[in-house]
Structure 1
Amino acid sequence: MLTILGPLAGEGAQLPLYSFRVPAGFPSPAADHIERRISLDELLDIRAPHMYLVRIEGDSMQGAGIFCGDLVAVDRSIEAEHGHIVIAAVNAEPVCKRLHKRGNEVILQSANRNFAPRYIMEGDELIIWGVVTFSVRAHEKA
Protein backbone atom coordinates (compact mmCIF):
# COMPACT_ATOMS: atom_id res chain seq x y z
CA MET A 1 0.00 0.00 0.00
CA LEU A 2 1.24 3.49 -0.85
CA THR A 3 0.16 7.03 -0.16
CA ILE A 4 1.01 9.35 -3.04
CA LEU A 5 1.63 12.79 -1.62
CA GLY A 6 1.69 14.61 -4.95
CA PRO A 7 4.11 16.62 -7.03
CA LEU A 8 6.87 18.64 -5.45
CA ALA A 9 6.89 22.38 -5.14
CA GLY A 10 9.52 24.42 -6.95
CA GLU A 11 12.24 25.65 -4.62
CA GLY A 12 12.74 24.70 -0.99
CA ALA A 13 14.33 26.40 1.97
CA GLN A 14 18.12 26.62 2.05
CA LEU A 15 19.74 24.65 4.89
CA PRO A 16 23.40 24.68 6.02
CA LEU A 17 25.64 21.85 4.79
CA TYR A 18 28.58 21.30 7.14
CA SER A 19 31.97 20.27 5.77
CA PHE A 20 32.69 17.72 8.50
CA ARG A 21 31.31 14.20 8.74
CA VAL A 22 29.95 12.91 12.04
CA PRO A 23 31.19 9.40 12.92
CA ALA A 24 29.16 8.81 16.11
CA GLY A 25 28.51 11.89 18.19
CA PHE A 26 27.67 15.39 17.08
CA PRO A 27 30.37 18.00 17.56
CA SER A 28 29.43 21.63 17.82
CA PRO A 29 28.45 22.85 14.34
CA ALA A 30 30.53 26.00 14.41
CA ALA A 31 29.86 28.53 11.68
CA ASP A 32 33.36 28.05 10.22
CA HIS A 33 32.42 24.46 9.27
CA ILE A 34 29.57 25.55 7.00
CA GLU A 35 30.61 24.56 3.49
CA ARG A 36 27.60 26.08 1.72
CA ARG A 37 23.84 26.27 1.89
CA ILE A 38 21.74 23.75 -0.02
CA SER A 39 18.09 22.85 -0.21
CA LEU A 40 16.71 19.38 0.37
CA ASP A 41 15.50 19.58 -3.23
CA GLU A 42 19.14 19.85 -4.31
CA LEU A 43 20.38 17.23 -1.84
CA LEU A 44 17.80 14.65 -2.95
CA ASP A 45 18.22 15.66 -6.61
CA ILE A 46 14.53 16.50 -6.84
CA ARG A 47 13.60 18.03 -10.16
CA ALA A 48 9.86 18.71 -10.37
CA PRO A 49 7.56 18.14 -12.29
CA HIS A 50 8.73 14.59 -13.07
CA MET A 51 9.45 13.89 -9.40
CA TYR A 52 6.88 13.04 -6.76
CA LEU A 53 6.80 11.76 -3.19
CA VAL A 54 5.22 8.57 -1.87
CA ARG A 55 4.74 7.42 1.73
CA ILE A 56 5.39 3.68 2.03
CA GLU A 57 3.00 1.47 3.96
CA GLY A 58 3.92 -2.07 4.98
CA ASP A 59 7.21 -3.87 5.50
CA SER A 60 7.79 -5.73 2.23
CA MET A 61 10.83 -3.59 1.32
CA GLN A 62 12.70 -3.64 4.66
CA GLY A 63 15.62 -5.58 3.18
CA ALA A 64 16.21 -2.66 0.81
CA GLY A 65 16.20 -0.19 3.72
CA ILE A 66 12.69 1.10 3.01
CA PHE A 67 10.45 0.86 6.06
CA CYS A 68 6.78 1.47 6.82
CA GLY A 69 6.21 5.22 7.04
CA ASP A 70 9.28 6.16 4.98
CA LEU A 71 8.96 8.83 2.36
CA VAL A 72 10.45 8.00 -1.05
CA ALA A 73 11.30 10.30 -3.94
CA VAL A 74 10.20 8.85 -7.26
CA ASP A 75 11.52 9.90 -10.66
CA ARG A 76 9.15 9.35 -13.59
CA SER A 77 11.84 10.31 -16.14
CA ILE A 78 14.08 7.29 -15.43
CA GLU A 79 13.52 4.24 -17.63
CA ALA A 80 12.90 1.38 -15.19
CA GLU A 81 15.50 -1.36 -15.58
CA HIS A 82 16.24 -4.72 -13.97
CA GLY A 83 17.21 -4.16 -10.34
CA HIS A 84 15.54 -0.77 -9.88
CA ILE A 85 13.13 -0.24 -7.02
CA VAL A 86 9.95 1.00 -8.64
CA ILE A 87 6.54 2.34 -7.82
CA ALA A 88 4.17 0.43 -10.06
CA ALA A 89 0.54 -0.48 -10.46
CA VAL A 90 -0.38 -4.11 -11.01
CA ASN A 91 -3.98 -4.36 -12.15
CA ALA A 92 -4.52 -0.83 -10.74
CA GLU A 93 -3.08 -1.73 -7.29
CA PRO A 94 -0.01 0.37 -6.38
CA VAL A 95 3.12 -1.36 -5.05
CA CYS A 96 6.74 -0.60 -4.23
CA LYS A 97 8.96 -3.50 -5.36
CA ARG A 98 12.28 -4.32 -7.01
CA LEU A 99 11.91 -4.91 -10.74
CA HIS A 100 13.36 -8.16 -12.10
CA LYS A 101 13.42 -9.04 -15.78
CA ARG A 102 14.48 -12.46 -17.08
CA GLY A 103 13.94 -12.70 -20.81
CA ASN A 104 10.24 -11.99 -21.31
CA GLU A 105 9.47 -12.70 -17.64
CA VAL A 106 8.79 -9.73 -15.35
CA ILE A 107 8.79 -10.16 -11.57
CA LEU A 108 8.14 -7.61 -8.84
CA GLN A 109 10.25 -8.77 -5.91
CA SER A 110 9.81 -7.81 -2.26
CA ALA A 111 12.89 -7.24 -0.11
CA ASN A 112 11.44 -9.29 2.73
CA ARG A 113 11.37 -13.10 2.67
CA ASN A 114 7.89 -13.12 4.18
CA PHE A 115 6.46 -11.83 0.89
CA ALA A 116 6.26 -13.92 -2.26
CA PRO A 117 7.44 -12.49 -5.58
CA ARG A 118 4.70 -11.13 -7.85
CA TYR A 119 5.04 -12.64 -11.32
CA ILE A 120 3.42 -10.54 -14.00
CA MET A 121 1.25 -12.94 -15.97
CA GLU A 122 -0.39 -12.65 -19.36
CA GLY A 123 -3.50 -10.54 -18.85
CA ASP A 124 -2.00 -8.56 -15.94
CA GLU A 125 -1.69 -4.82 -16.45
CA LEU A 126 1.66 -3.46 -15.24
CA ILE A 127 2.30 0.28 -15.28
CA ILE A 128 5.62 1.58 -13.92
CA TRP A 129 4.96 4.95 -12.27
CA GLY A 130 8.62 5.70 -11.61
CA VAL A 131 11.94 4.69 -10.08
CA VAL A 132 12.65 5.24 -6.38
CA THR A 133 15.77 7.40 -6.08
CA PHE A 134 15.88 8.33 -2.38
CA SER A 135 14.15 7.50 0.87
CA VAL A 136 13.72 9.62 3.96
CA ARG A 137 13.00 8.16 7.38
CA ALA A 138 11.82 9.93 10.52
CA HIS A 139 13.81 8.88 13.60
CA GLU A 140 11.32 9.40 16.37
CA LYS A 141 11.93 9.01 20.07
CA ALA A 142 11.68 5.42 21.27
Structure 2
Amino acid sequence: MLLHKSNSLIFFRPQAHNNCGAHFFDSGISAGFPSPAEDFKEQRLSLDRELIKNKEATFFARVSGQSMIGAGLDDNDLLVIDRSLEPAHNKIAVCFLDGEFTVKRLKVNTEGVWLEPENPNYPIIKITEDNDFVIWGIVTNVIKKV
Protein backbone atom coordinates (compact mmCIF):
# COMPACT_ATOMS: atom_id res chain seq x y z
CA MET A 1 0.00 0.00 0.00
CA LEU A 2 1.61 3.27 -1.20
CA LEU A 3 1.57 5.97 1.48
CA HIS A 4 3.79 8.81 0.25
CA LYS A 5 6.23 9.61 -2.51
CA SER A 6 9.02 12.19 -2.22
CA ASN A 7 12.05 12.89 -4.39
CA SER A 8 14.28 10.47 -2.49
CA LEU A 9 11.90 7.90 -0.92
CA ILE A 10 8.62 6.14 -1.69
CA PHE A 11 6.83 4.91 1.47
CA PHE A 12 4.77 1.74 1.85
CA ARG A 13 3.00 0.17 4.83
CA PRO A 14 3.58 -3.58 5.32
CA GLN A 15 0.58 -5.83 4.79
CA ALA A 16 0.24 -8.98 6.87
CA HIS A 17 -0.64 -12.20 5.09
CA ASN A 18 -1.80 -15.37 6.81
CA ASN A 19 0.04 -18.60 6.12
CA CYS A 20 2.75 -16.92 4.15
CA GLY A 21 6.36 -17.84 4.33
CA ALA A 22 8.81 -19.36 1.94
CA HIS A 23 10.57 -22.68 2.46
CA PHE A 24 13.63 -22.22 4.64
CA PHE A 25 16.50 -24.67 4.88
CA ASP A 26 18.16 -24.13 8.25
CA SER A 27 21.45 -25.84 7.50
CA GLY A 28 23.22 -23.01 5.72
CA ILE A 29 23.99 -23.05 2.03
CA SER A 30 27.54 -23.93 1.15
CA ALA A 31 29.39 -21.57 -1.13
CA GLY A 32 32.04 -24.27 -1.54
CA PHE A 33 31.44 -27.97 -2.01
CA PRO A 34 27.81 -29.16 -1.91
CA SER A 35 26.66 -31.08 1.14
CA PRO A 36 24.46 -34.20 1.03
CA ALA A 37 20.74 -33.40 0.67
CA GLU A 38 19.73 -35.34 3.77
CA ASP A 39 21.69 -32.93 5.99
CA PHE A 40 19.07 -30.17 5.89
CA LYS A 41 15.70 -29.72 7.50
CA GLU A 42 12.92 -27.73 5.92
CA GLN A 43 10.94 -25.07 7.79
CA ARG A 44 8.77 -22.10 6.84
CA LEU A 45 10.33 -18.65 7.04
CA SER A 46 8.26 -15.48 7.27
CA LEU A 47 10.13 -12.32 6.33
CA ASP A 48 7.49 -10.39 8.30
CA ARG A 49 8.55 -12.19 11.48
CA GLU A 50 12.26 -11.81 10.66
CA LEU A 51 12.26 -8.14 9.62
CA ILE A 52 9.37 -6.51 11.48
CA LYS A 53 9.63 -6.24 15.25
CA ASN A 54 6.90 -3.62 15.78
CA LYS A 55 4.21 -3.96 13.10
CA GLU A 56 2.37 -0.73 13.94
CA ALA A 57 5.55 1.36 13.75
CA THR A 58 7.16 -0.29 10.71
CA PHE A 59 7.13 1.07 7.17
CA PHE A 60 8.91 0.28 3.93
CA ALA A 61 10.46 2.91 1.68
CA ARG A 62 12.10 2.50 -1.69
CA VAL A 63 15.38 4.41 -2.11
CA SER A 64 15.72 6.84 -4.96
CA GLY A 65 19.21 8.25 -5.42
CA GLN A 66 22.85 7.51 -4.72
CA SER A 67 23.69 9.45 -1.53
CA MET A 68 23.98 6.32 0.66
CA ILE A 69 25.78 3.90 -1.66
CA GLY A 70 28.74 3.67 0.75
CA ALA A 71 26.36 2.21 3.36
CA GLY A 72 25.06 -0.34 0.85
CA LEU A 73 21.79 1.52 0.15
CA ASP A 74 21.44 1.64 -3.60
CA ASP A 75 18.84 3.17 -5.89
CA ASN A 76 15.62 1.09 -5.79
CA ASP A 77 16.53 -0.84 -2.60
CA LEU A 78 13.68 -1.39 -0.16
CA LEU A 79 14.26 -0.08 3.38
CA VAL A 80 12.58 -1.44 6.50
CA ILE A 81 12.03 1.51 8.86
CA ASP A 82 11.02 1.25 12.51
CA ARG A 83 9.56 4.46 13.96
CA SER A 84 9.57 3.08 17.52
CA LEU A 85 13.39 2.94 17.77
CA GLU A 86 15.30 5.75 19.45
CA PRO A 87 17.55 7.78 17.15
CA ALA A 88 21.22 7.52 18.08
CA HIS A 89 24.64 8.55 16.82
CA ASN A 90 25.74 6.59 13.74
CA LYS A 91 22.31 5.06 13.03
CA ILE A 92 20.89 5.32 9.53
CA ALA A 93 17.72 7.37 9.76
CA VAL A 94 14.87 8.50 7.57
CA CYS A 95 14.42 12.19 8.26
CA PHE A 96 11.98 14.86 7.22
CA LEU A 97 14.05 17.93 6.38
CA ASP A 98 12.57 21.19 5.09
CA GLY A 99 9.63 19.54 3.33
CA GLU A 100 11.46 16.48 1.94
CA PHE A 101 12.24 13.00 3.20
CA THR A 102 15.84 11.85 3.09
CA VAL A 103 17.85 8.89 4.37
CA LYS A 104 21.25 9.64 5.93
CA ARG A 105 23.56 8.56 8.74
CA LEU A 106 22.98 10.50 11.98
CA LYS A 107 25.99 12.20 13.51
CA VAL A 108 25.23 13.56 16.97
CA ASN A 109 27.59 15.19 19.46
CA THR A 110 27.65 18.10 21.90
CA GLU A 111 28.04 20.55 19.01
CA GLY A 112 24.91 19.47 17.17
CA VAL A 113 23.30 17.09 14.69
CA TRP A 114 24.45 16.34 11.15
CA LEU A 115 23.03 14.21 8.38
CA GLU A 116 25.92 12.49 6.68
CA PRO A 117 25.61 10.92 3.24
CA GLU A 118 27.81 7.96 2.41
CA ASN A 119 28.82 9.20 -1.00
CA PRO A 120 31.54 11.89 -1.28
CA ASN A 121 29.59 13.60 -4.08
CA TYR A 122 26.93 14.74 -1.58
CA PRO A 123 27.36 17.37 1.16
CA ILE A 124 27.06 16.79 4.91
CA ILE A 125 24.01 18.63 6.24
CA LYS A 126 24.26 20.51 9.56
CA ILE A 127 20.87 20.76 11.24
CA THR A 128 20.12 24.22 12.62
CA GLU A 129 17.14 25.72 14.41
CA ASP A 130 16.12 27.25 11.06
CA ASN A 131 15.48 23.77 9.63
CA ASP A 132 12.08 22.05 9.72
CA PHE A 133 13.53 18.74 10.92
CA VAL A 134 12.14 15.48 12.31
CA ILE A 135 13.85 12.11 12.66
CA TRP A 136 11.05 9.99 11.23
CA GLY A 137 12.41 6.48 11.81
CA ILE A 138 15.48 4.23 11.98
CA VAL A 139 16.44 1.90 9.13
CA THR A 140 16.65 -1.67 10.45
CA ASN A 141 17.08 -3.66 7.22
CA VAL A 142 17.59 -3.25 3.51
CA ILE A 143 16.14 -5.60 0.90
CA LYS A 144 18.00 -5.85 -2.39
CA LYS A 145 17.32 -7.46 -5.72
CA VAL A 146 20.14 -9.45 -7.24
2:108 aligned with 1:101: yes
For the 8 Å contact 2:61–2:79, the answer to whether it is kept is yes
Q: Output aligned runs, 1:92-131, within 5 Å.
A: 92-131=99-138
Would the alpha carbon gap of residues 118 and 23 (structure 1) be closer, same or farther in structure 2, given more than 3 Å must change? Answer: farther
In structure 2, stretches of 5+ residues that fail to align are 1-7
Cα RMSD after superposing both structures: 2.1
User: How many residues matched?
Assistant: 138
Matching residue of 2:3: none
CA deviation map 1:113-140 (0-9, x unaligned): 111101112210111110000000111x
> For the residues of structure 1 that align with 2:46 and 2:96, how far apart are their CA atoms?
31
In structure 1, stretches of 5+ residues that fail to align are none
2:42 aligned with 1:39: no
Match of 2:64 among 47, 51, 57: 57
> For the residues of structure 2 that align with 1:51 and 1:29, how far apart are their CA atoms?
39
Secondary structure at the counterpart of residue 49 of structure 2:
helix
Matching residue of 2:14: 8
> For the residues of structure 2 that align with 1:81 and 1:73, how far apart are their CA atoms?
17
Would the alpha carbon gap of residues 29 and 76 (structure 1) be closer, same or farther in structure 2, given more than 3 Å must change? Answer: farther
> For the residues of structure 2 that align with 1:53 and 1:131, how far apart are their CA atoms?
11
Secondary structure at the counterpart of residue 55 of structure 2:
coil
Secondary structure at the counterpart of residue 74 of structure 1:
strand
Runs of 4+ in 1 over 6 A off after TM superposition: none
TM-score w.r.t. the length of structure 1 is 0.87
CA deviation map 1:12-53 (0-9, x unaligned): 612222122224369589576235212011121343111000
